[in-house]
Amino acid sequence: MTKSVILKGQTLAFADDPFIVGADLATRFEENGAVWIENGLIRAVGPADAIIAEVSEVPVHDYGKDLITAGFVDCHAHYPQLPIIASYGEQLLTWLEKYTFPIELTFQDGDVAAEAASFFIKECIRNGITSSAVYATVHPISVDAFFQTASELNLRMACGKVLMDRNAPDGLRDTAQNGYDQSKALIDAWHGNGRNVYALTPRFAPTSTPEQLEAVGALWRENPDVLMQTHLSENPNEIAWVADLFPDAPDYFGVYEHFGLVGPGAIFGHAVHLTERERAGIRDTGSAIAHCPTSNTFIGSGLFDLEELRDTNATIPVGLATDVAGGSSLSMFATMRTAYEVAQLRGYSLHPAKAWYLATVGSATAMRIADKVGNLAPGMEADLAVIDLASTDLIRRRVARAENIWEVLFAQMILADDRAITATYVAGEPLYRRD
């Protein structure tokens, strides 16, 4: 049976990349717009009057002045770490030892993993995030738990078993061989099962031996349609450690190059301290970067150079990421706000069209799912967020003085939080509605 609905409100879609053609040419904004959804897919986006007249028999859900946009896409997050969000006073390597590894050890318990996966995913939906690239733990059961929950809700999510065979505590290490075997079994079980996407997940170069990185590269060559996610050049001490562990590599990115862990579908988290050679390598191989602004500032890693990586090297895919729990919020509004503030500290003003693009199309492109989610266009999967543009008294006062949609969206970036999410749709179904 055909299931159709029209969502009416203001609509925002992307026709191009605002980093290349500018905000006005890249976007399609309809003040009186509509999205026609049929059987979980978008049939049409455009002026409400025209769409409603074309299919007058389809029921209309009128969201008034709320903004209908693609659901947010988070291209780097650690679901097991959510219980340690807002942990005090450490930088990356000490933070891993003090907070991350102890909480991840508890995920050998399937009940712990199932509860954490359910909570994380519900928080994503409540914040308008409909797709994420997620790190589990070294335990295969942590991946099973995540995909089971995602499958029940019909979400398009990516996840992978963390691979670590050195420089990690007992209980969090695998081996090159069983890491390969367990990852292969998880790919067979989950990748392409419904909307699930598998991501090979070596944590970062220091926690994998050359033997393990070689095995991951081989497994990716055998399964080229899965993702590969890891960390790159987040912290100066981390970079120095990598140089000691891999003395023959030209730089941090060169480690991953050597083992075939670069190219389309490779998502490198952070990439704060890149050399010119590394920037060129990322661009030339078609690899992607996950920009994690709240994590980079909270843990004190540094200021991401968005201008260099997107305006100057416009072919480098960059997505926006919460990176919980190094990141301090699952709100994409908070993430966009911090991205703006980081850019300001580097002398660069991040236009709201660019920020919104990074949080939707940009992240979807990094995850190789931009043909399915991250935008409002015919044929796309109907994963949507409905945003109240006057969710608080303060925002209402600010947007009353706005002269255009960009001022309105900028106010959301700076002032909004989860209260702004009126509804979240997944495959055309409303999974969340604000009370």
Query: Residue 236 maps to which CATH number?
Result: 3.20.20.140
- Same domain membership, residue 201 and residue 244: yes
Q: Which domain holds residue 182?
A: 72-366
**Considering 342, 366, 390, which residue would you say is the last residue of a domain?**
366
Percentage, residues of the chain above pLDDT 90: 98
- Same domain membership, residue 238 and residue 142: yes
- Same domain membership, residue 231 and residue 94: yes
The CATH number given to whatever domain includes residue 384 is 2.30.40.10
Residue 89 pLDDT more than 90? no
3-state SS, the chain, equals CCCEEEEEEEEEEECCCHHHHCHHHHEEEEEEEEEEEECCEEEEEEEHHHHHHHCCCCCEEEEEEEEEEECEEEEEEEHHHHHHCCCCCCCHHHHHHHHHHHHHHHHHCHHHHHHHHHHHHHHHHHCCEEEEEEECCCCHHHHHHHHHHHHHCCCCCEEECEECCCCCCCCCCCCHHHHHHHHHHHHHHHCCCCCCEEEEEECCHHHCCHHHHHHHHHHHHHCCCCEEEEEECCCHHHHHHHHHHCCCCCCHHHHHHHCCCCCCCEEEEECCCCCHHHHHHHHHHCCEEEECHHHHHHCCCCCCCHHHHHHHCCCCCEEECCCECCECCCCHHHHHHHHHHHHHHCCCCCCHHHHHHHHHHHHHHHCCCCCCCCCCCCCCECCEEEECCCCCHHHHHHHCCCCCHHHHHHHHHHHCCHHHEEEEEECCEEEEECC
- Same domain membership, residue 254 and residue 381: no
- Same domain membership, residue 59 and residue 77: no
- Same domain membership, residue 81 and residue 59: no
* pLDDT at 435 (0 to 100): 83
Residue 16 pLDDT more than 80? yes
- Same domain membership, residue 311 and residue 197: yes
- Same domain membership, residue 105 and residue 53: no
- Same domain membership, residue 331 and residue 255: yes
- Same domain membership, residue 78 and residue 64: no
Which of 89-98, 190-199, 403-412 shows the lowest mean pLDDT across its residues? Answer: 89-98
Per-residue pLDDT tens over the stretch 321-359: 999 999 999 999 999 999 999 999 999 999 999 999 999
Mean pLDDT, to the nearest integer, of 187-209?
A: 98
Per-residue pLDDT tens over the stretch 97-135: 999 999 999 999 999 999 999 999 999 999 999 999 999
Average pLDDT of the chain, as a whole number: 97
- Same domain membership, residue 246 and residue 107: yes
Cβ atoms of residues 221 and 266 within 8 Å: no
Total number of domains in the chain:
2
* pLDDT at 56 (0 to 100): 87
**Considering 333, 366, 399, which residue would you say is the last residue of a domain?**
366
- Same domain membership, residue 11 and residue 42: yes
Per-residue pLDDT tens over the stretch 159-190: 999 999 999 999 999 999 999 999 999 999 99
What is the band of 1 on the pLDDT scale with cuts at 50, 70, 90?
low
Residue 42 pLDDT more than 90? yes
**Considering 317, 346, 366, which residue would you say is the last residue of a domain?**
366
| Strands 197-202 and 158-160, bridge-based pairing | parallel
* pLDDT at 399 (0 to 100): 98
Q: Looking at the whole model, is its pTM more than 0.95?
A: yes
